[in-house]
Chain A
């Protein structure tokens, strides 16, 4: 295998386990423990992608989740995922990945023409160019999106499973570096329930890359002991490969665990990812810090990377990314990388922007033969697909200008370090306040808002021993706060060769472009934002950070500016000659890293997206070819087609069967509420618009409910079963709403009323039989006397039906003689089948919701939510008859005398008959007085219900029309979407059996 950049020894990879993978169609080999990035570097692949806007060649900048450049399309087919960071992808056998943003290939990219033409693509280019005319935006957008590249989404359905987990604990610790480990250890030893989250596959953080001793023990061994101890504690749970994504109020944290993403074979039983929703009493943030890039000319070429990343590739993966290397730094800490590279055989020189460098470092460089350029800057870089040459020049600090001769160096790798930025993203999301630290030249945590603790480098402290002691102490403190018996304190001492805090970090900024020359000085690598763009934004008046961000798009990539934000702010501060504090910073928002929608959705997909409710007869409907309709969460039979029947044939047959003989509807989905208590009648009087005091036991009454605005919101029949006992029915979709409505008034307004409401919707199966033969038919199956005299319309009787104790209501929604038979749900299907069997001689016909709609429309019965829309009073529906004049008060009454509800030109409920006797008007159609070629024209209202009536042989419609009751017999017009205009005549709302004799037979 090639792996030409692999060191002979070292690293935490398993050299015995070779892994084959494919990048951009070519086969490579790496080792178990590699990331895609480390394996590519080992194979001397530096060019891994093209930049977003200019399509410039880009390499690997970092070695972690902050990576802006090396983002790839991972996997194939339905599992492909865009914008994945090569620096985070663990290598697995057969992995396939490809560069994004390039066509036809990363080596020959047509879009790189943008780079040559870049003078016409400054910040705000799109805003300026594609602003006018607005009508062309969609046209422009198509090309812009295509040119912008990014990855692509899979087009096939995701085959993977995602889980969600709710979790509660005392302490959640974000970050498994040395600080996080020590807090976990202290809290764990004290008995707290601890959740430790880390985004990496291995705990230990940067100690894994910078091996130093702690309490005189080898760092790596020290980590192992702590991790072993943590794993041995039952009260500590450790989640590796888990990224904390969002930190919300009340210490609510979301985290994405990559469970099997790193495996070559996905398990059938284990989810791909698990989304954690964690609520903890305290949260410890120990996320560490990100190294800050330096801004210099053409600082984006492949081969240029962060110093700490270089160190990580070398120490953890045994990869030497270059042989002729320069370190470009403004601080001491990065020298550790230089020494390590030197030790592993690279030729290294150091360009340090500072004048005064610690004498010990100077001496060590001299001892090792490392050439040190003090107070120098890189002023240009060369190399098309990888950096191969740089120019450096002395910086005159006083004049802030370049001086002296220009020195050219041949290099194959630049390591840069501009200092460290604490990873304050989650802290800031949690509403924690930041302040600017002038020594570190970055934002650090200032004020804590929630019950949280922030420790280690994350807190802006880079002193190793201090951090060790503070972290352990804070773990103990948390335990103490939570009333645990606290474990013993321990004194920790760490020895780092070069500490970050002992040295100064120089605020290195190009001074009005004087200290550097050359073309592009990148601030935001992912979004291709340069220093010149920031300058331009300020010149054009986008001075607020939020404006600069949006105008230049800095910090708006999938990396959310983890490497770029502070440099952009520092540059703004430099331009305005104002402290960075006064420039401020933009808001950090979740998620911390890109996350899959699959994980957020979890198991709530497909049929589990929303609960599905089925009646006890559902299976029979399925077996008998029912077509289903969703009504709320219910599945209801829409119609029952026989062979070769379409919906029209089936509905016609079903309608005629009811009108001429016998039909049966599964009405179980109607909401049913059992009301009990001495004040029930009084309560119903307040809830319904009509009077309930005199309803006798065994009688049913139709009622209309209004809200306090006087608008209809539900209807149904309520029956008095006993002295203080009522059975209320509601619409199918309104059941839950009505139940809440009743409870609201009982619990918040009329606390003294004694009424108990119980939902019994699912306890009863309702078989509604309807048609002229319904009495004859049902009498054969029941011991209840169904005669007209004994069981009149709007009455209720109890008895046996098919041997089952039943409640029978004589009510009708079809206008025909009807009985609603309620049986306990477990007998629902049995009784239904008995009815089907015994009803054969009457041609008993099961019908669905469409036939129900047609039959009720023929009678002008309203459907709340279809004929009404929440802005309709009972009077608008000509239902004055149901509004009590005698009752002093009921919900909605006072609003009937508001000026708006009294308006004489309100829309009224009317019938509509098309003059051509053929056209079934589309529901929702607008009704006008006279259709004109184009608006405006005089609008009268709209069609609410419209069907073909089989019994009448012509279409019928219901409508809301302004002042409609005074327009009966008038002609109106309905312009259709296809340009046709239909004429219709306004009628009353009852089309069939106007006298209403049929249901009284």
Chain B
């Protein structure tokens, strides 16, 4: 079970958080103009990498803020947590 550093509250036990899947999937600006295929990509397709993964978490039993987590799915090490809207860290930042 992780210890997660909420960007607003600091380090807390995983039981206070929940995960909401892959991060940095932007909702299309104008959904009416995207093809069925593009819309399907946005709705259904997610990465499942062995290695670095970016994911969205909420601090439910805390500040209730959403934020992003950069995690290595092999070692389960959380490499970084950052606020929504912050630049996505590059793998070279590790």
B39 near A894: Cβ-Cβ < 8 Å: yes
CA distance A894 to B32 in the complex (A): 6
* Most chain A CB inside 10 Å of its own CB: which residue of B26, B27, B28: B27
B66 near A744: Cβ-Cβ < 8 Å: yes
A895 near B1: Cβ-Cβ < 8 Å: no
Closest to A740 in B: B58
Q: Which of A843-891 contact B (CB under 8 A)?
A: 888-889
Task: Select A895's contact among B43, B84, B85, beta carbons within 8 Å.
Answer: B43
Chain A residues, CB < 8 A from B85: 751
CA distance A747 to B58 in the complex (A): 10
Q: Which of A878-926 contact B (CB under 8 A)?
A: 888-889, 893-895, 897-899
A898 near B36: Cβ-Cβ < 8 Å: yes
- B86 shortest CB reach to chain A, Å: 11
* Most chain B CB inside 10 Å of its own CB: which residue of A279, A449, A747, A751: A747
* Most chain B CB inside 10 Å of its own CB: which residue of A252, A749, A894, A895: A894
CA distance A749 to B66 in the complex (A): 11
- A761 shortest CB reach to chain B, Å: 15
CA distance A888 to B13 in the complex (A): 42
Closest to B29 in A: A889
Task: Select A888's contact among B27, B32, B40, beta carbons within 8 Å.
Answer: B32
Q: Which of B35-92 contact A (CB under 8 A)?
A: 36, 39-40, 42-43, 56, 58, 64-66, 75-76, 84-85
**Residue count of chain A within 8 Å CB distance of chain B:** 24
CA distance A749 to B31 in the complex (A): 14
Task: Select A250's contact among B1, B58, B84, beta carbons within 8 Å.
Answer: B1
CA distance A279 to B2 in the complex (A): 10
Given that A279-B3, A748-B84, A894-B39 are known contacts, is A889 also in contact with B30, CB under 8 Å in the complex? Answer: yes
A749 near B1: Cβ-Cβ < 8 Å: no
CA distance A828 to B76 in the complex (A): 50
Closest to A707 in B: B43
CA distance A122 to B1 in the complex (A): 41
Closest to A747 in B: B66
Q: Which of A735-787 contact B (CB under 8 A)?
A: 740, 743-744, 747-749, 751
Closest to A168 in B: B13
CA distance A744 to B66 in the complex (A): 7
Given that A889-B32, A895-B43 are known contacts, is A743 also in contact with B3, CB under 8 Å in the complex? Answer: no
A898 near B3: Cβ-Cβ < 8 Å: no
CA distance A418 to B56 in the complex (A): 53
* A248 within 8 A of partner (CB): yes
Closest to A889 in B: B31
* A249 within 8 A of partner (CB): yes
* A709 within 8 A of partner (CB): yes
* B34 within 8 A of partner (CB): yes
Closest to A708 in B: B43
- A261 shortest CB reach to chain B, Å: 27
Chain A residues, CB < 8 A from B75: 449
A279 near B31: Cβ-Cβ < 8 Å: no
A894 near B31: Cβ-Cβ < 8 Å: yes
Chain A residues, CB < 8 A from B39: 894-895, 898
- B7 shortest CB reach to chain A, Å: 12
- B17 shortest CB reach to chain A, Å: 13
Chain B residues, CB < 8 A from A748: 56, 66, 84
CA distance A889 to B30 in the complex (A): 7
Total contacts A to B, CB within 8 angstroms?
A: 51
- B45 shortest CB reach to chain A, Å: 13
Closest to A888 in B: B32
Chain B residues, CB < 8 A from A895: 39, 43
CA distance A751 to B27 in the complex (A): 13
CA distance A279 to B31 in the complex (A): 46
Chain A residues, CB < 8 A from B43: 708-709, 895
- B58 shortest CB reach to chain A, Å: 7
Chain A residues, CB < 8 A from B27: 708, 749
CA distance A166 to B64 in the complex (A): 22
B66 near A893: Cβ-Cβ < 8 Å: no
- B6 shortest CB reach to chain A, Å: 13
Given that A249-B76, A748-B84, A894-B32 are known contacts, is A743 also in contact with B64, CB under 8 Å in the complex? Answer: yes
B1 near A743: Cβ-Cβ < 8 Å: no
CA distance A708 to B40 in the complex (A): 11
CA distance A744 to B23 in the complex (A): 12
CA distance A449 to B36 in the complex (A): 46
CA distance A888 to B85 in the complex (A): 25
| Residue-wise interface mask of A (242-281) relative to B, using a CB-CB cutoff of 8 A (1 in contact, 0 not) | 0000001110100000000000000000000000000100
CA distance A616 to B3 in the complex (A): 38
A248 near B32: Cβ-Cβ < 8 Å: no
| Residue-wise interface mask of A (704-742) relative to B, using a CB-CB cutoff of 8 A (1 in contact, 0 not) | 000011000000000000000000000000000000100
B32 near A279: Cβ-Cβ < 8 Å: no
CA distance A751 to B83 in the complex (A): 12
Chain A residues, CB < 8 A from B76: 249
- B25 shortest CB reach to chain A, Å: 10
A747 near B84: Cβ-Cβ < 8 Å: yes
Closest to B36 in A: A898
- B44 shortest CB reach to chain A, Å: 9
- A823 shortest CB reach to chain B, Å: 28
A249 near B2: Cβ-Cβ < 8 Å: yes
B1 near A248: Cβ-Cβ < 8 Å: yes
CA distance A893 to B43 in the complex (A): 13
* Most chain B CB inside 10 Å of its own CB: which residue of A252, A893, A899: A252
Chain A residues, CB < 8 A from B32: 888-889, 893-894
CA distance A751 to B85 in the complex (A): 8
A893 near B1: Cβ-Cβ < 8 Å: no
B65 near A279: Cβ-Cβ < 8 Å: no
CA distance A744 to B56 in the complex (A): 10
CA distance A898 to B76 in the complex (A): 37
A751 near B84: Cβ-Cβ < 8 Å: yes
Chain B residues, CB < 8 A from A899: 36
B34 near A894: Cβ-Cβ < 8 Å: yes
CA distance A895 to B26 in the complex (A): 16
CA distance A819 to B28 in the complex (A): 42
Closest to A449 in B: B75
- B38 shortest CB reach to chain A, Å: 10
CA distance A894 to B38 in the complex (A): 11
Chain A residues, CB < 8 A from B42: 708
CA distance A964 to B26 in the complex (A): 37
CA distance A230 to B64 in the complex (A): 42
CA distance A749 to B23 in the complex (A): 11
- A970 shortest CB reach to chain B, Å: 33
CA distance A749 to B26 in the complex (A): 7
CA distance A635 to B84 in the complex (A): 37
CA distance A740 to B39 in the complex (A): 23
Chain A residues, CB < 8 A from B58: 740, 743
B31 near A743: Cβ-Cβ < 8 Å: no
CA distance A166 to B3 in the complex (A): 14
- A759 shortest CB reach to chain B, Å: 10
* Most chain B CB inside 10 Å of its own CB: which residue of A709, A748, A889: A748
Chain B residues, CB < 8 A from A250: 1-3
Closest to B28 in A: A894
The 6 listed contacts between A and B (C-beta, < 8 Å) are A249-B76, A751-B85, A893-B32, A894-B31, A894-B34, A894-B39
Q: A252-B1, A740-B58, A898-B40 are in contact. List 12 more A-B contacts (CB 8 A).
A: A249-B76, A279-B3, A708-B42, A743-B58, A743-B66, A748-B84, A888-B30, A888-B32, A893-B32, A894-B28, A894-B34, A899-B36
Top 3 A-B pairs, shortest CB-CB distance: A894-B31, A747-B66, A250-B3
